Structure 1
Amino acid sequence: MEITAATLLLLLLGLSCLVVYLRGKGQRKRGCLPPGPRPLPLLGNLLQLDTKDMAKSLLTLSKRYGPVYTLHLGPQRVVVLCGYQAVKEALVDQAEAFSGRGDLPVVLRFTQGNGIALSNGEKWKVLRRFALQTLRNFGMGKRSLEERIQQEAQCLGQELAHTQSAPFDPTFLISRAVANVICSIVFGDRFDYQDGSFLTLVGLINQNFQLLSSPWGQENQDPLSYFHTETLVMTTHNLFFAGTETVSTTLRYGFLLLMKYPEIQAKVHAEIDQVIGRHRSPSVEDRSRMPYIDAVIHEVQRFGDVIPMGLPHAVTRDTHFRGFLLPEGTNVLPLLFSVHNDPAQFKDPATFDPAHFLDPSGGFRKHDAFMAFSAGKRVCLGEGLARMELFLLFTTVLQRFSLTPLVRPEDIDISPLMSGLGNMPRPYEFRAVPR
């Protein structure tokens, strides 16, 4: 009997429906997942999402289904957490249960579960301890590391001066400066900004982040077995990627926002002149005496939201959460975008305003809902390094230059170019005018 294309399509559709039904039935036997939009066979809920702005789509669904709901990304089921309270209850209050790393197919195909970011169980714990100890041995938290960043900040300043106030795109210049900090830690030395191999490395890191920002396309071994070539190479890649692209993208967002709001840039300049002056290099010790700049950097991280969806988590055991039962291995997506835009936590979350991190007297105010480095057991291990880089590079550039846009501030577009796993600012040019 001849089978037509239409018949074959109907057979495949029926089989897909059966698979989805049986998987859902089996899941209900093991647990009780929160409700969510009804999925289509194979596609799941993908047609209900704006792939150009996933974070906002996920937040919009929460208005109908609540702060905890189940979503199907194709055949993959994930529990989405929205708002500060839900994310905090999971990642902080039940930190151990939510400490697993969820599936991220676009990355898993590349990493094969190796490295710190995507590993799980004992393998992750061993690699994390190893990475933290190694970073400490290489200067993390020590004066020597601060001096390396100060040196790189001065090199960045020299490169900006070479532009002679001509318009330029800062993307790769900033990436090179930030990448050199990681190079000095991992390789013990920095690279010249024109070095061919170095430029290739920075370019590949930037392309990786663009890929992740585009539309969604237990182990019982001897701990020593985790230290093989693939795992160590991927761990190094994780350090380069997390330590380069996120920081450089945050700085690019920061410079763009200061040009959008010149009155904020003027206040930054005033605080630098008052506390540091224009001749000595900024130091980490200065941060405690510069609450406005500290607040500006935090607000750039909140508003720019470089990793808006966070990285997916997974529950490490059957977990009771808000009246539901999440079976071991359930993928969980803590929507950090929803935390940073929670109106119960920030007075006007849609507005860029450093006052979100200032108390009434103008002092810096810490905020529990600030989760730019995630929270709980999977908090970014390079947080201390990133905070040091952001402050020293940001302050050094603003100490020496005024950032001048090529268009009127009101015409500057601060919406992201693309928003998937990461937020990418739109390309722009500006003039670095010596002060």
Structure 2
Amino acid sequence: EAEAVNNAAALWMRPRKEITEEQYKEFYHHVAHSFDEPWLTMHNKAEGRLEYTNLMFIPSSKPFDLFDPARKHGVKLYVKRVFITDDCSDLMPAWLRFVRGIVDSEDLPLNVSREMLQRNPVVSKIRTALVKRVLGELEKKSSKFPDDFAKFWESFGAVLKEGIYEDVTYRERLVKLLHCRSTATEELTTLSGYVERMKDGQEAIYYISGENLGSLQNSPQIEALVASGIEVLLFDDAVDEFWTSVVTEFEDKKLLSVTRGDIDLSNFVSERPEGKDIPDPELDAQIASLTGAFKLALGDNVKDVRVSERLTGSPVCLVADEGGMDIHLERLLKQQNQLQEMSKRILEINPKNDLIKSLAGIAKEKPSDPTLVGAAELLLDQARIIEGEVITDPISFAKRMTDMMSKALQKL
């Protein structure tokens, strides 16, 4: 049944200059069923061909239902001070569901039904105006108060990223608002900030995605990039895997995942601490023998074994093929039963690593040495663990680890 609100209670009908900050806060607590402070208050009245008043708030902390699967927004619809519904999905997109407040329309009929609200042209126009209003306020905050905006992003950035993936209309504006972690700074950075810091000759924006920020910062896949002074963006929200599939460029710079395909850093090798590599034909021959031995030992467990350009310290890492699905995205889809089986990965080996060099010497002298088989399987499992995967045969892994340690101790 429709509930009428008298003008005294309808705070949004009063001019902004007559409303105190405390009154706004009290109304926010009432409409949002929350006890935090509003981070942003938006009180506007539209007049002309479309007449409505909105009083909306962005919370300062995450609402408890922010990641509820229903993804319902928190804006209530009124018509001429009469409450109509708090479940008008067309009034606000799901990627702005953290917004709390009310919209009071003068153009909709009082007897409007939920069915009439669906694809309603008045509701559609109000929605467009509300989204533009919210984005405009966020853009102002990002530009004028970056530290304050960074706090907002920590709470609601993952939700806004959903809009990058879902809403092509506002994708460009949302990408410009995007803030993320980086190897170059402890503060959040924008894509524009990244581009400004790009090295001469750098043609792409590099990123790595995963579930844990600490693991990403220490990932083997970014070693050579960091050593070359190239910044890598760190994406640790699940939604990052999806929006990066539709945003492939920014300011004419390609977005490239460091866990997929080849990475050419030949222009930046001289900037690494170790400098340029001195040609070593003998080592190259040994590495070639080791690569062949590892391919034979691992068989169908990997798609290929090759020398890495992205490793400087770690012995091995796993990467996806150039045209393949990103490793983290594939794992997410598998966890959600949207993928039957994982694709085979490429095992990259680091020719500068002491362990790899030792194994390469064995491979050159005795390609059939059983030590190479155990080492290949152990290193593959190690690479899988680093990627956050579960080892399929932990008993065999433990046995190989024990055997390898025993052989090492016998040589002391």
Q: Same fold (TM over 0.5)?
A: no
Structure having the higher Rg: 2
State the TM-score, normalizing by the size of structure 1: 0.28
Q: TM-score, normalised by structure 2?
A: 0.30
